[in-house]
Amino acid sequence: MGNKEGFAIVTFGWLLIAMVGALPYFFYQDFLGNGIDQQVSSFTRFTDSYFESMSGFSTTGATILTDIEHLPHGILFWRSFTHWFGGMGILVLVVAILPLLGVGGMQLYRAEAPGPQSDRMTPRIQETAKVLWWVYVLFTLVEVAFLWVGTVWIVPENVRETFGEGLYNAFCHAFGTMATGGFSPKNSSIGHYNSLYIDIIIMVFMFIAGTNFSHHYKALKGDFHNYLKDEEFRFYAFMVGLIVVILVINTTWQSVTIINDVTSSVTQNQIVKIGRETYPVTNKQVQYKDQIYFVDESLAQIVIDGSAYDIYHATPVYNSIGEALRFVGFQVLAIVTTTGYGTTDFEQWPFMSQVILVFLMFFGGCAGSTGGGMKQVRFLLLIKHGYREIKHLILPHAVLPIKLNGQVVPPETITNILGFFFIGVAVFTVATVALTGLGLDLISASTAVASALMNIGPGLGSVGPMNNYAHIQPIGKWVLCLCMLLGRLELYTVLILFTPQLWKK
């Protein structure tokens, strides 16, 4: 078996397993009859079932469900389990079994392993796959234990659960965390518990899931220094810390007001909305059509040209650093690791914070993690490449190799990364144009594609954290399914199948 067979098996294997994974949703809908369940389940077409399945196995977390908690435990458990199974890669698991059948697996691992390079922890590829899964299982069970304790004894009394219910939800949320997926059996996701303890546990394990699993393996063997030795991990930790600090400052300083569920970032404490425009109140005055109108702070409205308009008060999203740190830290980790869990509606944050989160979608986790995105190491190497080009302008004849962890990075690796970015931008552009052609607005279409391509889940606009993908037309859902597959298998694995040269003998 050569490379082309490996790529083909990986790609068609994912397509097939997503189709098999869609059957429980499809059959559940088919056997419901005409009761209320049929209206709530949302699986009215095979397209919806396949979308949910592909979203699960690709660890994207985008959903077409409108009322999650109404569905039976079996369906919701399967939904979360598809995350966990797809997180480390279905075919990495198969690699550990294939040797028993006398079939080699190196080509499969090379095509499946996330990131621009595969860090083999053991000499034999099947042993590497087994090690990956044992580490994966261990962290999952540890998180289950912490979440179980929290949901039964620590969370607020109104949301505490029985032993059985708590264990069930702990498994579902641990599956979504370690796979960086984001499916939750709760309508309000992690925000359902309103618990600092649960937030912290999920944050810790999201960070772990976004880290190269080879570091976890070495740490379990006693080498804890390998984390700090890795430039990518240091870059990953730095980026998370920097973005958290920026967003904490922004959400505690920038005033926002929400009018008809639409957020407006303003610099004044009061504004008046007239038509589609907002006008600031300064020194108890508002200017409209070159005229000054005085604002009575004791009243909720102001009369302008014979019409009464509401006066809106703008305040920062969070009133304390601690509160901001809790919610911002959780959301930043959920986005950068591509988990997609939510404890708050970040569409109600200032525009600057929303834009930063959108850019953060593209970073993803570390190479060798279960996270999606373009991977931190690619951005790190691109920054190094850009810095080298600037130095070349000053020293045109100097030899300036790019190094990562003290090793010279081959030029073909940089070329590969540049090509990866170009193809990613091209796919993003084409898919966004396709969705806008189906009637979606630009913000919803572009963030939906970014979310699918980077395997995140929530976007902005009509696909925001408090919304879903049910309203998108069937053809649009198939476009997003393709984006999920391309993102999960990192573009090249799928697109290489369309090159005629691959199939020539």
| Segment 137-186, tens digit of pLDDT | 999 999 999 999 999 999 999 999 999 999 999 999 999 999 999 999 99
Same domain as 271, residue 365: no
State in Å, rounded, how far the first CA of the chain is from the last one.
13
Residue 342 belongs to some domain of the structure: no
Helical (H) or strand (E) element with 170: helix 163-178
pTM (2 d.p.): 0.91
Q: What b/e sequence results for 396-423 when a residue is b if at least 16 CB atoms lie within 10 Å of its CB, and e otherwise?
A: eeeeeebebeeeebeeebbeebeebeee
Nearest-angstrom CA–CA distance, 62 and 59: 9
Signed CA dihedral, 207, 210, 213, 214: sign only: negative
Same domain as 367, residue 419: yes
Residue 419 belongs to some domain of the structure: yes
Query: Of 135, 163, 191, which one is at a domain's C-terminal end?
Result: 191
Residue 327 belongs to some domain of the structure: no
Amino acid 472: pLDDT: 95
Same domain as 145, residue 30: yes
Are 26 and 130 in contact, with CB atoms under 8 Å apart?
no
User: According to the per-residue pLDDT averaged within each range, which of 363-367, 417-421, 448-452 is highest?
Assistant: 448-452
Same domain as 302, residue 371: no
Residue 375 belongs to some domain of the structure: yes
Question: Which residue type, as a one-letter code, is found at position 352?
Answer: M
Helical (H) or strand (E) element with 266: strand 262-266
Structure tokens, 349: 């944050």
Residue 136: give the domain boundaries: 3-174+182-191
Residue 309 belongs to some domain of the structure: yes
pLDDT at residue 96 tops 70: no
- DSSP letter (8 states) at residue 366: -
Amino acid 138: pLDDT: 96
Share of the chain above pLDDT 70, in %: 88
Q: What is the pLDDT of residues 474-501, one digit of tens each?
A: 999 999 999 999 998 888 888 988 888 8
Q: What is the pLDDT of residues 355-384, one digit of tens each?
A: 999 999 999 999 888 998 999 999 999 999
Residue 304 belongs to some domain of the structure: yes
Range of lowest pLDDT (24-33, 66-75, 78-87, 345-354): 24-33
Same domain as 499, residue 365: yes
Residue 107 belongs to some domain of the structure: yes
147: exposed, middle or buried (C-beta count within 10 Å: 0-12, 13-18, 19+)?
buried
- For residue 294, count other CB atoms closer than 10 A to its CB: 10
Same domain as 165, residue 25: yes
Same domain as 418, residue 294: no
Q: What is the pLDDT of residues 316-342, one digit of tens each?
A: 999 999 999 999 999 999 999 999 999
Query: Of 191, 221, 240, which one is at a domain's C-terminal end?
Result: 191
Nearest-angstrom CA–CA distance, 83 and 59: 5
Residue with tokens 């976007």: 459
pLDDT at residue 106 tops 50: no
Amino acid 219: pLDDT: 94
Same domain as 48, residue 169: yes
Same domain as 18, residue 77: yes
Contacts of 143 (CB under 8 A, 6+ apart): 170, 174, 177, 178, 201, 205
DSSP 453-483: HTT----SGGGSTT--STTS-HHHHHHHHHH
Same domain as 283, residue 423: no
Q: What is the pLDDT of residues 273-313, one digit of tens each?
A: 777 777 788 888 888 888 888 888 777 888 888 788 888 88
pLDDT at residue 195 tops 60: yes
Residue 15 belongs to some domain of the structure: yes
Same domain as 163, residue 30: yes
Same domain as 400, residue 279: no
Are 210 and 199 in contact, with CB atoms under 8 Å apart?
no
Amino acid 104: pLDDT: 46
Domain count, the chain: 3
